[in-house]
Amino acid sequence: MDPGLVATRVSPTREIIAVRLALFRAGAALLLGPAVHCAPCFGATMVVVNENLVARGYFVDGERFMRHIRIGNADVQASDVLASYWFFAAERQRVYHRRLAGTPSPWTVDPILTKFRFTNAYRAADRVSQDLIRVAYAGSQSRDDLVLRVLLYRFFNRPSTWGALEAAVGEIGVDTFDVESYDRVLSGLLADGHRVYSAAYIVPPPPFGAERKHRNHLLLIQHMLRSGVVEKLGTADSLQQVYEVIASYPSLGPFLSYQLAIDLNYTTLLDFEEDDFVVPGPGARSGIAKCFPGLGTVPAEDVIRWMVDHQEEEFERHDLVFEDLFGRRLTLIDCQNLFCETDKYARVAHPDARGVGGRTRIKQQFTPQGSPAAPYFPPKWGINERAGALRGDLVSA
């Protein structure tokens, strides 16, 4: 086994004990083999496979222990799922860096991360977000073209759909945007048995009367451009105002409007701090419910901000090694997304934890699609040079 996957130290506390022992008994033995080191800890078993991969949780003498945390003016209880939140963030980011460096699999010996598909800890590092960022910066930087490209890309959220449109009409911009011609391209893809939408976001069809969903989305883009969305975004004074402009249009609910606001903020059109504003999605709210049962009246937004503000001390508290995004901390959008991913992770790791909606299984399994491309982030973040240099150092090591 790669020595990088094996822990060199153990610093157990009463909170670092066997939450996932049954999971490891069921499936991890096949993955880990004899390299697993098990140490007794307060009458339980702690499984150690690297500096992050420790079965962690809050069970003392067989009883669930609830940690108390101060969020704003409220004392809230945190369950064992909170430890898995921080573990997931650290281990998923570890996988990202190992894949980026070209390290052969396995990139983790966590059986859940090995088997199922999860997004990256940082939203901007995900494959589709990476593609969108490149799309935004590769073409015209006029405000109209930027807004069109972001809306068109994210409504369908599928790189192959964008590629087919670009191959048919050339560079995509307001001068080439035509509902009829774009409709023909997308209808042709559907007729040939191709999908035009990603399953990542469910974008409700807007009420423009067309028979096909994709045409209604093209009509929505046309409506937004004609109604002055570009000018409205240009006068926004905050990320929240950007969100409110987008949310004023039909079918763009709170979750999608927030995601689009973040996408537009990647571009040269806007430059607001990601930590200014957050809108928790349904998956994030379910993850929050699992981490903080009985939250009461404490707003989910305050919980997400607490995670951002306390991330370094929480990683240290749980004895986790977190490799950040080339010097960039987790922001509100990242911690919001991590709650969504923790909700999924907990369906296997903590099947007794109750969230919102009652989902009990993870649908998508992980299938590697080759080494990820060299990362590219909004140049205004100032991390691309560092990312390129670090990636080169890792690959040559």
CA angle 18, 24, 30 (to 5 degrees): 155
Q: What is the pLDDT of residues 154-203, one digit of tens each?
A: 999 999 999 999 999 999 999 999 999 999 999 999 999 999 998 776 77
Q: Residue 295 phi/psi, 5° resolution?
A: -65, -25
Give the pLDDT band (50/70/90) at residue 24.
very low
Kindly state the tokens that stand for 218: 């093209």
User: Which among 369, 318, 395, 374 is positioned nearest to 91, based on CA atoms?
Assistant: 318
Nearest Cα to Cα of residue 54 among 103, 5, 99: 5
pLDDT at 65: 64
CB 19 within 8 A of CB 84: yes
Backbone angles phi, psi at 376, to 5 degrees: -140, 120
Q: Residue 187: count other Cβ atoms within 10 Å of its Cβ.
A: 14
Ranked by mean pLDDT, which of 11-15, 38-42, 54-58 comes out on top? Answer: 54-58
Average pLDDT score over residue span 295-310: 96
| H helical segments located in the chain | 21-23, 29-32, 81-100, 111-115, 127-138, 143-156, 159-169, 179-191, 213-226, 229-234, 239-247, 254-266, 282-291, 300-309, 311-317, 332-349, 384-396
pLDDT at 371 over 80: no
286: tokens are: 């379910």
User: Is residue 19 over pLDDT 70?
Assistant: no
Region 15-37: mean pLDDT is: 37
Could you tell me if 337 and 316 are in contact, meaning their C-beta atoms sit under 8 angstroms apart?
A: no
Query: Which phi and psi (to 5°) does residue 47 adopt?
Result: -95, 125
How much of the chain, in percent, has pLDDT values that exceed 90?
71
Average pLDDT score over residue span 227-235 = 98
At residue 91, the pLDDT reads 97
What lies within 8 Å, CB to CB, of 236 at 6+ separation is: 242, 245, 270
Burial (CB count <10 Å: 0-12, 13-18, 19+), residue 358: exposed
| Average pLDDT, integer, range 371-379 | 91
Cα three-residue angle 337-342-348, rounded to 5 degrees: 150
When pLDDT is cut at 50, 70 and 90, the band that residue 344 belongs to is: very high
Over range 105-126, report the average pLDDT.
94
| pLDDT above 90 for 30 | no
Dihedral sign from CA coordinates of 206, 210, 214, 215:
negative
Read off the pLDDT band of 294 (50, 70, 90).
confident
Which pLDDT score, from 0 to 100, does residue 290 have? 96
**pLDDT higher at 248 or 14:** 248
pLDDT score of 324 more than 80: yes
Residue bearing tokens 């035509």:
178
Write the DSSP symbol of residue 366: P
Q: Which of 37-51, 221-235, 291-305, 331-345 has the lowest mean pLDDT?
A: 37-51
What does the pLDDT read at residue 9? Answer: 29
Could you identify the residue written with the tokens 């763009």? 252
Residue 368, pLDDT above cutoff 90: no
**pLDDT tens for residues 135-150?**
999 989 999 999 999 9
pLDDT of residue 390: 66
